[in-house]
Structures are given as C-alpha cells and as structure tokens.
Structure 1
Amino acid sequence: MPGGTIGGLTLGSAVMDHRRLGRSGLNISEITFGNWLTHGELVGREPALACIRAALDAGITTFDTADVYAQGAAEEVLGEALRPVRRSSVEIATKVCLPTGDGPNDRGLSRKHIMESCHASLRRLGTDYVDLYQAHRFDENTPLDETLIAFDDLIRQGKVLYLGVSEWTAPQIRAALDLGGELGLRSRIIANQPQYNMLWRVIEPEVLPLCRDEGIGQVVFQPLAQGVLTGKYLPGQPLPEGSRATGGGRAPRFISRVLGDELLDRVQSLRPLADAAGVSMAQLAVAWTLSQPGVSSAIIGATRPEQVTENAGAAGVQLPADVLAKIDEVLGDLVDRDPSKTARMMAVKDSWNRAVPDGR
C-alpha cells in the first residue's frame, strides 16, 4: 500500500495498519487522531477524553495537536488522556509557529520561540519528548538556518525525535533540505502535513513529487473537507443543527468555502460509490486519501466517539481503480489543483489567526 503498510498493532479492541513515515524508520497508524477545532474549543473535557479513548480502542496510535490549538488546552487534554498509556506505544506530534501570545516573540520560527514553545508543549503533554515536531508555517522573518539549527538542537537533546513541516510550498521544502545538507545537520524533514482531500489537491503538481523523491511522508489533514465529504450537508437545505458549520469558534469560516449547492450536489453523487463499496461517505473520503501515493496517514477529528470509530473504519479499505476513476469523473472541474493556493490559503488563514490565534 502507499506509504508502506507493515502490519497491525492491537492497542484496544481493533487492529490498525501502520505505515512508514516517508523513508524514516518511524511507523505511524494509517489513521491519526487530531484535535484541531475540537478539544478545548468546540467540545468540553469529558467528550474530548472519550474521543481519545475511542481512538485508542480503534487501534490508533498516532496523535496530532499543536501549541496554538485552543491556546494550549488541546495539548493538555491530549496529555491527560494519554497519561495511562505506555508512552512508547503511541506517537505524539505537535507544532510550533503560530501565535501563542501577544508578545513580539510569541510566534514564528526564531530560536527563542521554538525552544520556549517546545518546552511548554512538553509540559502540557506531560512527556519528555515528542515523536514529531512540525513547523506549522514557513517563517519569512527568521533566517532559515536559525530555524533548522534550533530544531536540530532539540533532536540532539532528545526532546524531539523527528522533524516535519505543515503547509510549506515545494520551494520552501527544497530550500530547507538543501540548507540542512550544507550545514551538516543531524535532523532532516521526514513529514509534511498538508490539507488534502478529494476536492483540494493543490499539493499534487509540486509538493507531492518533491516529497516522494526526498522520502517525505504526507500526514494529511481535512480528508473530509471539514465534514462536507460526509454528505451531511445537502444542496438547498438548511445546515444541520449541531454540525461544525453551525457551531461557534472559527469552524464556520473554514466550512463556508465548500458549501456551494453545485459542489454539494456532486458530493451526493458519490453516495452510490460508497454504497457499492460497502463503506460510509466519510470512510470513502478517508480511504481515498490513503490510496494516494506518498500518503502515510490521514488525520481525523471528532466531537463524538462514534465519529472516531466510523472514520477509523477507513483503515485497510482498498478502493478499486474504477472507483477512484469514477470519483474523479463525478467531481470533475470542482477539484482544485492550483499549487499557488497553498501559500495563498495560508495567508488567508494566518489573517484569521491574527484575530483569533488558534488556527490550523
């Protein structure tokens, strides 16, 4: 399978396939549980803990968070939930870059912010190290060598095991790889965390080919396009109560980008494909991402434990070539593959995060 499936690990009541993260030696679960826009923001402590327990029961061993999610509360909830679990049996990923305060050094990829944010994340997570530490954005205001050396020092100190980036463009990733080689650094980027789903494929022209050549695995977020690909949003119908689109926080702003009637109508046309494959619409969407070359894991989020169980059921699902081709045919010209939109979309999100510093 894409990404190198190497077998299963039983952690709860289910068996979950694992894949190598790029060309590294790190194995991560096909499904990663993430808590952006949920824990500490949309759901309370007890439902959040229940979701993480459901993830463990589903065999998920990889958990993704960030210092900026709910301004640290998401890391705290994750740390609390994983405290009873043997540390070496799970892989914890977090991120640094976006604003975590009002001070001039409370953001970016300076040595000061990286070091202080890493130590704060470790305290909140209740662990001595994180398996994967990711640069949440590219920082145009900090010399790249300063950023890479700071990450390398954390790896030498044993506080970080592997290095990743999130939503960097291909030229930015290329520059970091080349400079790291010139500096003789011990650390090397082995993971990229981009937005990627049936509708949003902007990484395909440039980022994916570079990452495949360089052995960088994709841990993709929003495989459900903020829930749109579950089919619960119907064309011409009111938004369902209790959905993210009607909730608080920043979720409605993200979802509104993909709620046009034409798109929703096309999404409903995917339902017969899901039915024929014997999976739910959500499972079809997650399985699609896992079928793409270079993808190591798909990040799912949830506000209820049953959502975790359903989405995790996409692990191991093999979509036939004719189903994949039919998905492309149904979605047609609504699929976005413009590589320039990675940087443009990040600029839009960052403007939101400056107003409400808590973003993906």
Structure 2
Amino acid sequence: MPANNMKYRFLGNSGLLVSKFGFGSFVTFDMQMDFEKSYAVFEHAFKSGINFFDSAETYADGEAEKFIGKIVKTGIERGVWSREDLVLTTKLFFGTKLGHGGGGPNDTGLSRKHIVEGMKGSLKRFGLDYVDVVFCHRQDPYTPMEEIVRAMNYVIEQGWAFYWGTSEWTSAEIVEACEVADRLGLILPICDQTRYNILDRSRVDYDFTNLYKKYKYGVTSFSALSSGVLTGKYNDGIPEGSRMSIPWFKNILSNGLEEKTTKALQLAEVAKEIGCTLPQLAIAWCVANNNVSTVLLGASRIEQLDENLKALEFEDKITPEIRAKIDAIADFKPELTKVQDNVHQIRGKWI
C-alpha cells in the first residue's frame, strides 16, 4: 500500500472504496504521447494513493483506452501494482468514430447493441477482462430506459464490469433508471460523473440533492478548475497552446470568460488567505463536499500532479466562513447544463 495521506470514500451506495482524487484521461492520454513520461505520471498518481483511473471509449477515438491498457500492463510487469489495486472505469455512448466524422446509426447511443458491442470494444482496447465501473456517457432519449438498464445489467452479469453509473444525466433521468431497476429486481446505477467546480455546480449542489438522500448516489466530478479558468491562466487572455486555444474547446467554454476570469482574480485573494494557490483552493472546495466520491484530476507532468494533490492539505480550511466568501464571489445561479443538445445532434440526425 502506498505511503501517503490519501483518504478514500465509498463510491455511492456501494462497498467500493475510491481515492478522494481520481485521475482522468480526457485530453491527457493518447498513443501520440511519450509513453514513459505518461507512465511515470500514472505511477506517481498511484504511489500518491490514487486508485481511481477514468477513461471513455470516445477519448482520442479509443486511443486513450489502448494507452491506459498499456500502462496498466507495464505496471503489472514491473511489479508496481496488481490489477486488483486499481479501479478502472470507462464510459459508453459516443463510440470511437465521431472524431473522424464517421460511424453509422448504431455506433453511438445506449441501445443494447451499442452497449454490448461498445463494452467488448473497450475491453479489447484496454487488453483487460473487466473494468470496475462502466458509465453511460450521456442519457439516450431515443432508447427505452428498460433497454438501457437491462443492457447495463447484462454487462455486469458477463463479468465485464462490477458496477454501472451515469454521466451528465439529470436527477429525473437517474430516478427513472433506479425505479426501472427496482421494479425489475436489477442492479441500480451507483454514481454520476459530472462537471463540478466553484463556477458550475448546478447538478451536484442543486439537481442531485434528493438523490443523495434517496439512493446514496455518488458523484465522480470533473473540471474542478473550470477548464483552466480557475488556474488563473486566462486572466491576461488566452495563451497559445492552452485548451481554450483549441477551436472546439473555445467555442464550448469561452462563453462568459471575461466574467469568470474576474471572479478567478477575486478567488485568488481567498486562496492567499488560507495559504494556497488558486487551483488548490478550487480543488479543495470540490473535495470538501462529502457527496463527491472522487474529484478527477488531469496532469501531464508529475510536478503539476503534485501541486494539485496538495489541495488535500487545505480541505479542512474550507470553513463556513471561507465557503461564504467563495459563494459571494461566485454569485452562482443554478441552471441545468444543456448537454442534451449534442445528444440530439448525434442520434437525431439518423431519424
């Protein structure tokens, strides 16, 4: 067991313990990256106590899963970890062909066909017999909920995954899935993977409140740094090579950027007050929420990962007084993220 101060939480209403910080692979891993450098970051994350490693079939059009699979195999061969030491996850919906503008009508979505074929494809790319958790990467309004629930249970029955979850679903959709599973005597989803940060907290702090009480539903959160806004890197404009300089990222994320950077400057003063950096404040704020099972981090360098991991030292400093200051600056007004617009464009075009 790694010597560290990492703490663990149960993943929703399950007996699975996951590290308070997880490691994501969205725009982090693909086969074009230097393998040994990427392996070193992954190994450092593990030795720092992280056991939750996340991916998806669509990341780098399937290449991220191949890359992680190679890392996992290498670590086993080198005696660093065993498969049992790791909680590996993937997500199904978007397939692996969207990035190339290809794919047919059944290469995306949550039909039984795509869930089963997608799961087999993910395991083949990973080079593994199973993942620990498989998520429905979006809700599919074109597929009956009973079909989705039965298909995810089939995946578990085959031993391809131990648990299933949702990603970017609304509470109403999650309740429907749970009620269908209950009615059929099937396994319920245990958690949702969703965006959560000081500037965007609609789902976790508002929409999901009933889910925690009713189902002990878990959250694996991403975008703790609001796609870089809460690092302060955009305070003086968009630097070359940053995520926001990528055209499709900029189109999605730059809306309201000026207002967000103004808030980031004010939040940096709060960070100074408790003796940490702005990114550490943002991450500590997320992990201080006990409803969040794990906060996903991304890093391409060990130094970057270490800086983020230090946020754990400031979790207890997110006192009611500090939280009130953060809330006053954020001035957040809840609204549901319009994630389904993209879903209708992808699935609806075939109808």
Normalising by structure 1, report the TM-score.
0.87
What RMSD in Å do the two structures reach over aligned CA positions? 2.3
Unaligned residue ranges in structure 1 (runs of 5+): 1-9, 356-360
Match of 1:74 in 2: 64
The amino acid across from 1:72 in the alignment is: G
Aligned residues with identical type, % of pairs: 35
Offset of 1:249 from its aligned partner?
A: 6.7
Residue 292 to residue 265, structure 1, CA distance change in 2 (3 Å): same
8 Å CA contact 2:219, 2:291 repeated in 1: yes
1:112 aligns with 2:117: no
Offset of 1:272 from its aligned partner?
A: 2.1
8 Å CA contact 2:108, 2:347 repeated in 1: no
Offset of 1:99 from its aligned partner?
A: 3.5
- SS of corresponding position for 2:264: helix
More displaced, 285-294 or 44-53? 44-53
Offset of 1:73 from its aligned partner?
A: 0.6
Match of 1:7 in 2: none
The structure with higher relative contact order (CA 8 Å, sep 6+) is 1
The amino acid across from 1:267 in the alignment is: A
2:273 pairs, out of 276, 281, 298, with: 276
Match of 1:166 in 2: 167
Aligned residue pairs, count: 335
In 1, distance between residues paired with 2:256 and 2:53? 26
Residue 242 to residue 57, structure 1, CA distance change in 2 (3 Å): farther
Match of 1:323 in 2: 322
Match of 1:310 in 2: 307
8 Å CA contact 1:42, 1:303 repeated in 2: no
Q: Deviations over 1:273-325 (max 9, x none)?
A: 21222222111111111122411111111233322221122235211111111
In 2, distance between residues paired with 1:45 and 1:77? 8
Residue 136 to residue 320, structure 1, CA distance change in 2 (3 Å): same
Match of 1:358 in 2: none
- SS of corresponding position for 2:8: strand
- SS of corresponding position for 1:127: coil
Match of 2:100 in 1: none
In 1, distance between residues paired with 2:311 and 2:347? 31
Match of 2:83 in 1: 87
In 1, distance between residues paired with 2:230 and 2:250? 15
- SS of corresponding position for 2:88: strand
Unaligned residue ranges in structure 2 (runs of 5+): 76-80, 98-102
8 Å CA contact 1:226, 1:254 repeated in 2: no
More displaced, 273-282 or 157-166? 273-282
In 1, distance between residues paired with 2:347 and 2:35? 23
Offset of 1:194 from its aligned partner?
A: 1.1
Alignment of 1:1-360 (within 5 A): 10-11=1-2, 14-40=4-30, 43=33, 45-83=35-73, 84=75, 85-101=81-97, 102-185=103-186, 187-203=187-203, 204-234=205-235, 237-246=236-245, 248=246, 250-260=248-258, 262-315=259-312, 317-318=315-316, 319-332=318-331, 335-338=332-335, 341-342=336-337, 344-348=338-342, 351=345
8 Å CA contact 2:220, 2:295 repeated in 1: yes
8 Å CA contact 1:212, 1:294 repeated in 2: no
- SS of corresponding position for 1:315: helix
The amino acid across from 1:243 in the alignment is: S
Match of 1:6 in 2: none
In 2, distance between residues paired with 1:346 and 1:46? 38
More helix by share: 2
Offset of 1:205 from its aligned partner?
A: 2.3
Q: Deviations over 1:205-262 (max 9, x none)?
A: 222322342111111111110011111221xx2322332222x4733333313521x3
8 Å CA contact 2:168, 2:339 repeated in 1: no
- SS of corresponding position for 1:131: strand
The amino acid across from 1:39 in the alignment is: F
Normalising by structure 2, report the TM-score.
0.89
Offset of 1:46 from its aligned partner?
A: 4.6
Residue 97 to residue 315, structure 1, CA distance change in 2 (3 Å): same
The amino acid across from 1:228 in the alignment is: V
In 2, distance between residues paired with 1:256 and 1:353? 26
In 2, distance between residues paired with 1:56 and 1:206? 32
